[in-house]
Amino acid sequence: MSIPRRIGRLASGLLSNIQEDERVRERLRTGRERGETLRGAFEAALRGAQEELRRSEERRRAEGGGPTGSTFAGTRNTRQSSGRASGRTSGRTSSTFAPLKYPPNVLSAYDRLGLVPGVPMDEVDRKRRELVKRFHPDRFPDPDKRARAEKVTAEINAAHDTIERHASRKSR
């Protein structure tokens, strides 16, 4: 008899014994209930956070200092322009959630790629490939446009490297 078949028979025997045990069934049921309770709590917390973010956006717009759309990129740019990113506080009240602390060079790298800070590296890699395809120097026969495309491609690659270095430093 082959080894995979033996392992399969052993596993099926163990599973049939476990399924008959009432203690295992009870433990699975309580674990499932705990998971559902936790999921409910997290969903409630998320709804509360979204509501608070919506209210703060409305307050900011009412004060005349906020963006018209409620995009995260727009929110970050207004915070940066109001001086919060550099450590100064403005006259407005701060929201409950503090923005993530990123160095200015990392923020500008995210801006260069057109991304919001904190997106996964998969998204950063995908956006870099997309931009390099669009601005690759080989696509432009005119020397002036080719030189501009080389410069833009170099900026895209530098921005990607900056984000990658920051992410690797952060994961240590």
pLDDT by 10s per residue, the chain, length 172: 788 888 877 777 776 666 666 776 677 677 777 778 878 888 888 888 888 888 888 888 888 754 544 444 444 444 444 444 444 444 444 445 555 678 889 999 999 999 988 889 999 999 999 999 999 999 999 999 999 999 999 999 999 999 999 988 877 7
- Domain residues of the chain, as ranges? 1-98, 100-172
Q: Which residue bears the tokens 């701060």?
A: 94
Instruction: Report the pLDDT value the prediction gives residue 97, as an integer from 0 to 100.
Output: 53
- B/e letters for 41-73, b = 16+ CB within 10 Å, e = fewer, are eeeeeeeeeeeebeebbeebeeeeebeeeeeee
Instruction: Report the pLDDT value the prediction gives residue 83, as an integer from 0 to 100.
Output: 42
Q: What is d(CA 106, CA 112) in angstroms, rounded to the nearest whole number?
A: 10
CATH classification (class only), 100-172: mainly alpha
Instruction: Report the pLDDT value the prediction gives residue 17, as an integer from 0 to 100.
Output: 65
Residue 139 Cα distances to 23, 83, 159, angstroms = 67, 40, 21
Dig out the tokens for 32 from the structure: 């499932």
